[in-house]
Chains A and B, each alone.
Chain A
Amino acid sequence: MSIRLQNIAKHFGKTLALEPVNLDIHEGELVGLLGPSGSGKTTLLRIIAGLENADRSPEPGKILFGDRDVSNVHVRDRRIGFVFQHYALFRHMSVYDNVAFGLTVMPKKERPSSGEIRARVFRLLEMVQLEHLAKRYPAQLSGGQQQRVSLARALAVKPDVLLLDEPFGALDAKVRQDLRRWLRRLHSELNFTSVFVTHDQEEALELSDRVVVMSNGRIEQIDAPDTLYHSPKNRFVFEFLGDVNHLEGNVNNGVLTCGDAYLHVDLPNGAEELLLRPHEVRLAEQPSDTCHLPVVVTAISPVGAEVRVELEANWLAKPWLATVRHADFERLEMRRGQHLYAYPRQWHRFKDEALAAEQTRVA
């Protein structure tokens, strides 16, 4: 079922939580709402669910599930599945009763027979690999298990759309990885339309078909993960999607100067700020005529596919972070306190937010 939002806005009292938003989510799509806290992502999700009302003035917005206008439909009649941040399992009910709840509260004439309910609940529990825990109570389950129960519970009523609020936020890193993979697989198997909220950019980029980046109650960009990462529309999106190094200085006749550091750039005169991802920083033992960025290694973390190196210099307000291949790390014999020179492989610049981002590759 596709979801279409038209002109949806929300005030809490006098504070604006959501600027008027338009959003189209296609049938079968998995869309992530990504943003820092207070960006309005959860509010948007709750409005889709019908847990919050969108503003009715100055003009009421519209929410369509397929062709069905659900703008004024109560949450209980919207046919959504909602997975809560802290699972919101019913503590006094067993796992089985939690999953069966939505089926047993249906009006008599729509309600499946008790045998059918049983079969469906066990099918779902099997799918979330918890059929052996059907008799347990929520307090006896781990966080990851509770999350799977809450997913099975939401899916039991065969919702038109599945909405998840920070589904993996309260879990530790390892469990989160597993659950993500598992949700991705479930989604491609069952092919429901789902929207989830997260503040974790990695999670959003890994899971989503498309990501909606939000800040301050506004949608900043809607794109597929790789497009988003490689061509962010503005500085906020760029900074939010990963670690960023800043290089601030003044450009004079094609040379950006910052203390005793300088870099040749093809930019007009004036104050400039260039942004670099950690993998866009190359390190060498010697400066060149066009690039002189002396740095000192202050911390080294060799864990993972690449070595993360922290760099400081008196011309830098904040330390830089660079990722180097293990081979380069060994070749340069890196150690703390070592003096090196940084070279940007590439930099980004958001001089005018209204214009598209500029990206320059340096030789």
Chain B
Amino acid sequence: MRRIGDAPAVKRLLIGAALVLSALFLLLPLVAIFAQAFSQGMAVFWSNVSNYFTLHAIGLTLGVALLTIPICLVFGVALAWLVTRFSFPGRRILQTLIDIPFAVSPVVAGLIYLLLYGRNGWIGSWLDGHDIQLMFAWPGILMVTVFVTCPFVARELIPLMQAQGSREEEAAATLGAKGWITFWRVTLPNIRWALLYGIILTNARAVGEFGAVSVVSGAIRGQTNTLPLHLEQLYQDYNAVGAFACAALLALIALLTLAAKASLEWRASRREALL
């Protein structure tokens, strides 16, 4: 078959350009992270990773991610079910609203939470009177993380569930299946990979969020420092190797995310080929 641009010279030129530019622009930074992290040997890397503040930052980061995922999951599934299975006025508006976190700068996201729930905010001042502090504490970190990550699950599910249509659920209803049974046995098996992919993206962003978290965390070492914030502090303190040790941990999570995504896509394309 002939196609446009399949002359060997053109092909070689374009592939070569794409590979060289990607290597310089994307691969080199990735290599640099690990090169820097291990530049003073394994022992230094290990001591950087295993010191108390780093371990605490890792714990806080993972804890926040673990809490974020179920919240985003429930919201994402509910919203996807709502907008793909029912038609009602305002459906398109809901779909547009969930894109807001993608457009809002993370710093602005952090700021609006700080204004509302901080000591001077109208909810924050009431909470303060009851001795509840959300900002500059882990609940605040969780709240802004949920804000920036909430579109991922819904955005993965909506196109898929739209394409699949509701015929299978309707068939289950005619066979007498009740709501939750229909969801567990008919819907969930069809969307489980998209769901998993949404969770992976949510996790990657939750672990790595920097701008929004830096506004609301206060960044107190050993208390409200997440891994990206800890990394920043180390870098500003001229402890580049320590910063890159944290960066390497985060890059490792990113690589696992990419691997998981690639394998899910591979699985999907293979299933498509079988159909």
A contacts, CB < 8 Å to B: 50-53, 74-75
Contact = CB atoms under 8 A, between A and B. Distances in A.
A148 to B, nearest CB: 26
Interface of B: 1-2
The DSSP consensus for interface residues of chain B is: loop
A74 B1 CA distance: 12
A8 B2 CA distance: 18
B215 to A, nearest CB: 45
Contacts of B2: 50-53, 74-75
B104 to A, nearest CB: 34
Top-6 shortest CB links A-B: A51-B2, A75-B2, A52-B1, A51-B1, A50-B2, A52-B2
Contacts of B1: 51-52
Nearest to B3: A51
Contacts of A51: 1-2
A346 to B, nearest CB: 46
Nearest to B1: A52
Nearest to A49: B2
A257 B20 CA distance: 78
Contacts of A50: 2
A242 B132 CA distance: 86
Contacts of A74: 2
Given A50-B2, A75-B2, 6 more contacts: A51-B1, A51-B2, A52-B1, A52-B2, A53-B2, A74-B2
B181 to A, nearest CB: 42
8 contacts: A50-B2, A51-B1, A51-B2, A52-B1, A52-B2, A53-B2, A74-B2, A75-B2
B11 to A, nearest CB: 15
Nearest to A12: B1
B1 to A, nearest CB: 6
A50 B1 CA distance: 9
A272 to B, nearest CB: 44
Nearest to A50: B2
A105 to B, nearest CB: 13
A256 B238 CA distance: 102
A74 B3 CA distance: 11
A133 to B, nearest CB: 28
A51 B1 CA distance: 6
B8 to A, nearest CB: 13
Nearest to A52: B1
A98 B1 CA distance: 23
A203 to B, nearest CB: 26
A8 B184 CA distance: 57
A229 B1 CA distance: 35
Contacts of A75: 2
A75 B1 CA distance: 11
A288 B207 CA distance: 91
B134 to A, nearest CB: 53
B2 to A, nearest CB: 6
Nearest to B7: A74
Nearest to A46: B1
A311 to B, nearest CB: 39
A51 B3 CA distance: 9
A225 B2 CA distance: 34
A53 B2 CA distance: 8
A52 B6 CA distance: 13
B53 to A, nearest CB: 58
A250 B195 CA distance: 64
Nearest to A51: B2
A75 B3 CA distance: 10
A75 to B, nearest CB: 6
A74 B2 CA distance: 9
B5 to A, nearest CB: 13
A120 B232 CA distance: 69
Contacts of A52: 1-2
A210 B2 CA distance: 29
Contacts of A53: 2
